[in-house]
Amino acid sequence: MHEMSIMEGVLTLAGNEAGKHGYQKITRIKLRIGEFRGVVREALEFAFDAMKGDTAAKDAVLEIETVAIRLECPNCKEIEYIPGDLNLLCPGCGSPVEFAAGREMQVEYVDME
Ligand SMILES: [Zn+2]
């Protein structure tokens, strides 16, 4: 279950942030996670609840924003993403497409007090 290791990283990062600025308590953690990451939101929330106990984030609110996948062809611009279709070539011209969004895995902000 890779949500556990993701959350471990998030809590470590948040804890370091708080320590660096001299805060004792984390009140809110906001994550942005792209759909392409295949992260199960419920599993992430479960991991948070299971792991936050001994950390500065034990009373924190976890907010997760899911970022939809958007693909872009360098020639045709934005194209539709068909879930489950991992052929990342443009249906229009056959060029390799790029991710315009959907691969995010970031801590957007950490609120502390
Ligand atoms: Zn194209």
Mean pLDDT across the stretch 28-55? 95
State the pLDDT confidence band at 14, using cuts at 50, 70 and 90.
very high
What is the C-alpha to C-alpha distance for residues 28 and 61, in angstroms, rounded to an integer? 5
For the entire predicted model, the pTM comes to 0.84
State the pLDDT confidence band at 88, using cuts at 50, 70 and 90.
confident
Tokens of 60: 């924190």
Higher local confidence (pLDDT), 77 or 58: 58
C-alpha 77 to ligand 1 mean position (Å):
7
CATH for 13 = 3.30.2320.50
State the pLDDT confidence band at 112, using cuts at 50, 70 and 90.
very high
Quote the domain boundaries for residue 50: 2-68+101-112
Count of all residues that appear for the chain in the document: 113
Query: Is 57 part of a structural domain of the chain?
Result: yes
What is the C-alpha to C-alpha distance for residues 3 and 1, in angstroms, rounded to an integer? 6
Residues with CB under 5 A from ligand 1 (ion): 73, 75-76, 90, 92-93, 95
Higher local confidence (pLDDT), 90 or 32: 32
C-alpha 68 to ligand 1 mean position (Å):
20
C-alpha 104 to ligand 1 mean position (Å):
23
Query: Is 82 part of a structural domain of the chain?
Result: no
C-alpha 76 to ligand 1 mean position (Å):
4
Q: What torsion, rounded to 10 degrees, do the Cα atoms 39, 59, 13, 64 define?
A: 30
Query: Is 90 part of a structural domain of the chain?
Result: no
State the pLDDT confidence band at 90, using cuts at 50, 70 and 90.
confident
